[in-house]
Amino acid sequence: MARPRRSGRWRRRRVAALLVLLGVAGSMAWQAAVAEDWRTASREPVGLAPDPAATPEAVVQVYAARAWSWRAVFGVHTWVAVKPAGASRWRVYEALGWRAWRGEPIVAVSHRPPDARWYGNRPWLLVDLRGDGVDAVIAQVEAAAARYPFANRYRLWPGPNSNTFTAFVGREVPALRLDLPPTAIGKDYLDGQMLAAAPSGTGWQVSLAGLLGVMAAREEGLEVDVLGLTFGLDPFDPALKLPVVGRLGPAPGVRRLGPAAQGGAQGA
C-alpha cells in the first residue's frame, strides 16, 4: 500500500511544479507585456535579417515574437518575409487584426524590417532559406498569401488570426517545413476542415475548429490542442511543449537551404 501512496504524492508534486512553472512564466510575460505603451514600444530590427542591398541571393525568413499587451502571456505573433534575388528591399506578409476592424483585408504586405521587434518583444527565426531554388519558394509563398481563405476575417481566439495565416502558408509551401511554436495560438484553426496537413507538411492533424485536436508530424512531434492551448512532445528535437511557457528543451534548428544561410534561433 505504501508504493501507491508515494506514486500519488509524486504525481501531485509534478502537477504542482508544472503549475508553479506556468505561473512564473505567465507573470514574466505579463510584466513584459505591460512594460511599454504601444505608441512608444520599440520596433527596431535586432540583426537577424540580412541587408537586402548587400544580399543578392533570394531569402525567405519566418519569424515569431511574443504578442503585444496581455496577449504576450499566452501567445506569439508570426509573419513571413521574402526577398527575391536581386531585390533591394524585403516584403513582409502578416495578418493584422486591426485591418479587419477597419474593413480592410487582414493580410498586410509591407516593406518593414522583417526582424523588427514586435512592440518591444524580440523576434526569433523559425525558417531561413537562401540561395538557389528560393525564388521558386517565394513565388509559392506569395501565391499562398493571395489565396488565404480568411482574408476578411480575424478572431483573436481560437482563430483565424495571425498564426492561422502563417500556418496556412506553411501547409501550402511544404519547402518551408515550418514548425510553429506551441504558443502560436490559432495555428490549428483549419479552413472548415477536420483533417489537414501539419503546418510543416511532414505529418497530419485533426482539429475541431481549433478548439480540440491532435497532430503527429516529423517536425512538430506529437501535439494535443485543448481550447487553443498546445501540449506536446517533440521526440526528434527532444522538448516538452506547454501553453504559456512554450518549448522546454533545445530550440529546433532553423530550417535552412543553401550554404550561405546564416542567422540564429531561440525557443519560445
HEC per residue, 12-73: HHHHHHHHHHHHHHHHHHHHHHCCCCCCCCCCCECCCCCCHHHCCCCEEEEEEEECCHHHHH
Check: CB of residue 202 under 8 Å from CB of residue 177: yes
Residues in CB range of 145: below 8 A, 6 or more apart: 80, 93, 107, 109, 165, 169
pLDDT value of residue 243: 95
pLDDT value at 223 more than 80: yes
Q: For the residues 214-242, what does the mean pLDDT come to?
A: 96
The secondary element (H helix, E strand) that includes residue 257 is strand 255-257
pLDDT value of residue 264: 37
The pLDDT tens digits of the residues spanning 253-263 come to 787 765 433 33
Check: CB of residue 120 under 8 Å from CB of residue 36: yes
Q: For the residues 118-146, what does the mean pLDDT come to?
A: 97
In this prediction the pTM is: 0.84
Beta-bridged to residue 224, according to DSSP, are 214, 231
pLDDT value of residue 253: 72
d(C-alpha 42, C-alpha 4), whole Å:
53
Which of 14-18, 123-127, 130-134, 244-248 is least confident?
Answer: 14-18
- Name residue, grid cell 521558386: 136
pLDDT value of residue 160: 97
- The proportion of the chain whose per-residue pLDDT surpasses 90, expressed as a percent, equals 72
Check: CB of residue 97 under 8 Å from CB of residue 60: no
pLDDT value of residue 68: 84
The pairing of strands 239-242 and 59-66 is: unpaired
d(C-alpha 32, C-alpha 105), whole Å:
30
How many angstroms separate the most distant Cα atoms in the chain? 72
pLDDT value of residue 38: 56
pLDDT value of residue 43: 85
pLDDT value of residue 175: 96
pLDDT value of residue 254: 81
Q: Beta-carbon neighbour count of residue 184 at 10 Å?
A: 27
The secondary element (H helix, E strand) that includes residue 169 is helix 162-172
Beta-bridged to residue 121, according to DSSP, are 118
The pLDDT tens digits of the residues spanning 33-57 come to 444 565 678 789 999 999 999 999 9
The pairing of strands 203-208 and 212-217 is: antiparallel
Closest CA to 64 of 79, 86, 74: 79
pLDDT value of residue 143: 98
d(C-alpha 113, C-alpha 231), whole Å:
32
pLDDT value at 228 more than 70: yes
Local confidence band at 18 (pLDDT 50, 70, 90 cut-offs): low
The pairing of strands 239-242 and 255-257 is: unpaired
The pLDDT tens digits of the residues spanning 153-195 come to 999 999 999 999 999 999 999 999 999 999 999 999 998 899 9
Local confidence band at 66 (pLDDT 50, 70, 90 cut-offs): very high
The pLDDT tens digits of the residues spanning 75-131 come to 999 999 999 999 999 999 999 999 988 999 999 999 999 999 999 999 999 999 999
